[in-house]
Chains A and B, each alone.
Chain A
Amino acid sequence: MPVSPASQLKLIERLCNACAVSGDEGEVRQIVLEAIKGFVDEVKVDALGNVLATKRAAASKAGAKRVRKLPRVMLSAHMDEVGFMLVGDDSGGLFRFETVGGMDLRQLPGKAVLVGRDHIPGVIGARPIHLTTAEERRRTIPLDALRIDVGPGSPKVKLGDRVAYATRFQRSGPALISKALDNRLGVAVLIELLRNPPTNVDLLAGFTVQEEIGLAGARVAGYALAPDLAIAVDSTPANDLPRWDSLESEYYNTRLGQGPAIYIADGATFSDPRLVRWLAQAGDAAGIPYQFRQPGGGGTDAGGIHRSRAGVPSVSVSVPHRYSHTAASIALLEDWKNTLALLKAALERLSASLLAKERS
């Protein structure tokens, strides 16, 4: 089924504007279930809230006798985003809150937020500059000095409510500006792959929960789907900003505009070298740009999947984006499209012998 670029963008926008802080992913889960309905052979929601879907190869359904059985491929994309939870009521519409997922406290002051399932608006303010001292301005505003302010009426918010940034998705030329690009971009890639799948291979899709707080969703999804190999589709920081001293930066991690980032090693996983080569060769053969993420820290769902059961050869592919885990991240639509194209091309050339080869 042909997919129009306009409908892809609409899907990304809808996913980004939904709120799904780790542990409360229902809103994105509903969009996923709706988007893949009728496109998959099996779908279920597991005990943690992961959406597990299976799309069997068209070839196998047609009854064609395959000479060699292809590996069962798991694709994983986490649905959750970083955010906050209301943990203390100061009365008058003012709430103490805690962060959920890795947040830089310097990014919090002066932002609009949405509280709870009804998206009640609120703001995180800051003490007026006029009332601060120079000494105070040299220090980061601590979390316990910040409040979420929903106004002094009696809005329907309560302790335990999740809170997400209120930023609305927008386009700026070739760029997308939004909250939660990490990892709605990956979720959108996975949805598009299921809606327009490669015909040769069985896809096991895991739309996972709680990635931002420790890969719990990926761990159980990997166990349940029991794949032969896995690809985590995520979003990774592009630190391709100029250095303060104008020297060339060695710490860019990835760069916008250079295509999907293939992982060799991050803080949680050593990618299976055979899968890295397979992805790179697919990109070379199809003329799809890609880059290697600089080996370093961080982690993806692959960290949970590759050690499930007896072990799963795994790799991660991410859409690069700037200002991860903030109210406003920036990605290029082109990089997202190339991520989808690279995965499609690689799956289409997947061979039964891939995992029979030497690892390196």
Chain B
Amino acid sequence: MTELLPFLKELISAPGLSGYEDPLFRIIEAKWRPLVDEVGRGKLGSLHGLRRATRKASRDAKQAASVMVVAHMDAIGLMVTDIVEGFLHVTSVGGVDPRILPGQQVTIQASGSEGPRTLAGVVAQPPSRLLPPETGDGPLALEHLLVDTGLPSSRVAEWVRVGDVVSFAQPPVELSGETLAGHSLDDRACVAALTACLEELQTRPHTWDVWAVASTQEETGLKGASTSAYEIHPTMAIAVDVTFAKGPGSSDWNTFPLDKGPTILIGPNIHPALHKAMQTLADRLEIPYTLEYTPTNSGTDGLATQTTREGIPTLVMGLPLRYMHTPVELVAVKDIERLGRLLAEFISSLAPDFIEKIVWDE
């Protein structure tokens, strides 16, 4: 298996907001192309990699069953809504707490009259005297924050257009205990896990076709996973997304230990038989995991795949991550490796008639 960390650092050093995932598509496609038999692109931009079954289910089987494993490549960020005296007003793309924005370094994908260019910027919190008196010392609403490039206003007017996307510029930071911090680890850490899974599958037989999907627009409504699941029409789907790791301010029942393996979700989006099969396998392989209880919708691509067409049996796996939706999201690299291995083991363990043999346990 090639080194996971350099690839992941490359993934989180690129922009690629929801709806603008092209930079990520190119990076992931280059990585996956040698690992799959076919590469395609969904109509909403998702990357589809097909790795065919390595052996036929039986002599008379026309078509192998297929599993779609999906991680989203899009990221949250900002978008320019107005330009005033060289300063940019912005709105959010995806769920952004404005309280983490002041002082952030950002990258503007400028597309003005002079053609595309990348500009550095800083999210400015204007001094209180320039704000409505009722603002006080509290956190500023997004409408009052500005992005400053330090460039003359005439330049900004030429180079930047309303609608240009603004992504976090925080470089990846390697921390102790084999942990990595940076922006957009949600969900590119799981793209890395999916890549590790494809690498594992190079040396493992599997009777199922595997569709690896890097989906788009998850943060803005699970759009890519939904449309890709329709187009691919898999027999089964596995969504892999980050979940809340225990850490400062996060210790409740819905948070999970860092570096203690992935989570296996239980809840309405997850087919109980798939959950059971995954848990049994993890136990047998002694790969550490935590059970994650989602009383209602999981908020992941799994909701989209489950409800596509006539319904697709779906499994959701989680990767514990601290400080979600900040530019310093933090994951344990070992958890990514464990998740990748578990996915590969699960796929290669699938019997050709696994789905037909499912019985409801009631």
Contact A104–B124 (Cβ < 8 Å): no
Task: Give which listed residue, A107, A140, A168, A244, contacts B130 with CB less than 8 A.
Answer: A244
Which residue, of B119, B121, B247, B258, has the highest number of chain A Cβ atoms within 10 A?
B247
Task: Give which listed residue, A94, A153, A241, contacts B247 with CB less than 8 A.
Answer: A94
Interface residues of B in 75-120 (CB under 8 A from A): 84-85, 87, 95-105, 119-120
Residue B330 lies at the interface, judged by CB distance under 8 Å to chain A? yes
Provide the bound-state CA to CA distance between A245 and B129, in Å. 11
Residue A146 lies at the interface, judged by CB distance under 8 Å to chain B? yes
Contact B130–A109 (Cβ < 8 Å): no
Known: A93-B175, A328-B103. A125 touches B328 (CB 8 A): yes
Provide the bound-state CA to CA distance between A150 and B322, in Å. 12
1/0 per residue, CB under 8 A from B, across A306-331: the answer is 00000000000000001100111010
Residue A302 lies at the interface, judged by CB distance under 8 Å to chain B? no
Interface residues of A in 103-123 (CB under 8 A from B): 104, 106-107, 109-112, 120-123
Residue B324 lies at the interface, judged by CB distance under 8 Å to chain A? yes
Interface residues of B in 99-158 (CB under 8 A from A): 99-105, 119-122, 124-127, 129-132, 137-140, 144, 146, 148-152, 155
Residue B176 lies at the interface, judged by CB distance under 8 Å to chain A? yes
Chain A, Cβ-Cβ closest to B325:
A129
Contact B127–A153 (Cβ < 8 Å): no
Q: How many residues of chain B get a CB closer than 8 Å to chain A's CBs?
A: 67
Contact B175–A123 (Cβ < 8 Å): yes
Known: A174-B150, A244-B144. A93 touches B176 (CB 8 A): yes
Chain B, Cβ-Cβ closest to A176:
B150
Secondary structure dominating the interface of B: loop
B146 to chain A, nearest CB (A): 6
Complex contacts, A110 vs chain B, CB 8 Å: 100-101, 104, 170, 323, 326-328
Provide the bound-state CA to CA distance between A177 and B102, in Å. 15
Residue A175 lies at the interface, judged by CB distance under 8 Å to chain B? yes
1/0 per residue, CB under 8 A from A, across B299-337: the answer is 100000000000000000000001111111010100000
Complex contacts, A122 vs chain B, CB 8 Å: 175
Chain A, Cβ-Cβ closest to B156:
A173
Residue B249 lies at the interface, judged by CB distance under 8 Å to chain A? yes
Provide the bound-state CA to CA distance between A24 and B137, in Å. 30
Complex contacts, B244 vs chain A, CB 8 Å: 128, 130-131
Contact A242–B150 (Cβ < 8 Å): no
Provide the bound-state CA to CA distance between A242 and B131, in Å. 9
Contact B258–A152 (Cβ < 8 Å): yes
Secondary structure dominating the interface of A: loop
Complex contacts, A153 vs chain B, CB 8 Å: 175-179
B78 to chain A, nearest CB (A): 13
Provide the bound-state CA to CA distance between A190 and B176, in Å. 38
Complex contacts, B294 vs chain A, CB 8 Å: none
1/0 per residue, CB under 8 A from B, across A135-165: the answer is 0011111000111011111110000000000
Known: A322-B124, A326-B102. A151 touches B177 (CB 8 A): yes
Interface residues of A in 157-197 (CB under 8 A from B): 166-168, 170, 172-177
Provide the bound-state CA to CA distance between A167 and B122, in Å. 11
Known: A251-B130, A323-B124. A152 touches B139 (CB 8 A): no
Complex contacts, A246 vs chain B, CB 8 Å: 84
Interface residues of A in 80-104 (CB under 8 A from B): 90, 93-94, 104
A83 to chain B, nearest CB (A): 14
Q: Interface size class for chain A?
A: 35 or more
Complex contacts, A328 vs chain B, CB 8 Å: 103-105, 122
B318 to chain A, nearest CB (A): 13
Contact B97–A129 (Cβ < 8 Å): yes
Contact B100–A126 (Cβ < 8 Å): yes
Chain B, Cβ-Cβ closest to A95:
B248
Provide the bound-state CA to CA distance between A112 and B100, in Å. 12
Complex contacts, A150 vs chain B, CB 8 Å: 175-176
Chain A, Cβ-Cβ closest to B159:
A173
Interface residues of B in 50-89 (CB under 8 A from A): 84-85, 87
Known: A151-B177, A251-B129, A323-B124. A130 touches B249 (CB 8 A): no
Residue A132 lies at the interface, judged by CB distance under 8 Å to chain B? yes
B106 to chain A, nearest CB (A): 9
B39 to chain A, nearest CB (A): 33
Known: A107-B102, A244-B131. A121 touches B328 (CB 8 A): no
Residue A43 lies at the interface, judged by CB distance under 8 Å to chain B? no
Known: A110-B104, A137-B139. A128 touches B99 (CB 8 A): no
Contact B102–A137 (Cβ < 8 Å): no
Contact B150–A330 (Cβ < 8 Å): yes
Complex contacts, B124 vs chain A, CB 8 Å: 241, 322-323
Which residue, of A123, A170, A242, A330, has the highest number of chain B Cβ atoms within 10 A?
A123
Provide the bound-state CA to CA distance between A172 and B27, in Å. 26
Task: Give which listed residue, A104, A132, A146, A149, contacts B330 with CB less than 8 A.
Answer: A149
Which residue, of B96, B258, B323, has the highest number of chain A Cβ atoms within 10 A?
B323
Contact A326–B103 (Cβ < 8 Å): yes
Contact B152–A129 (Cβ < 8 Å): no
Task: Give which listed residue, B146, B151, B247, contacts A125 with CB less than 8 A.
Answer: B247
Q: Can you list 25 A-B contacts with CB-CB less than 8 angstroms, sorted by A residue number? A: A90-B248, A93-B177, A109-B326, A110-B326, A125-B322, A126-B100, A126-B323, A127-B323, A129-B95, A129-B96, A137-B99, A137-B139, A138-B138, A149-B248, A151-B178, A152-B176, A152-B179, A168-B171, A172-B121, A174-B152, A175-B151, A241-B126, A244-B132, A251-B129, A323-B122
Interface residues of A (CB under 8 A from B): 90, 93-94, 104, 106-107, 109-112, 120-132, 137-141, 145-147, 149-155, 166-168, 170, 172-177, 237, 239, 241-246, 249, 251, 256, 322-323, 326-328, 330, 332
Known: A112-B173, A120-B176, A149-B330. 20 other contacts (CB 8 A): A104-B102, A123-B181, A124-B328, A125-B326, A129-B97, A130-B324, A138-B138, A140-B99, A146-B248, A151-B178, A152-B179, A152-B258, A153-B179, A172-B151, A173-B152, A239-B127, A244-B144, A256-B150, A322-B148, A323-B125
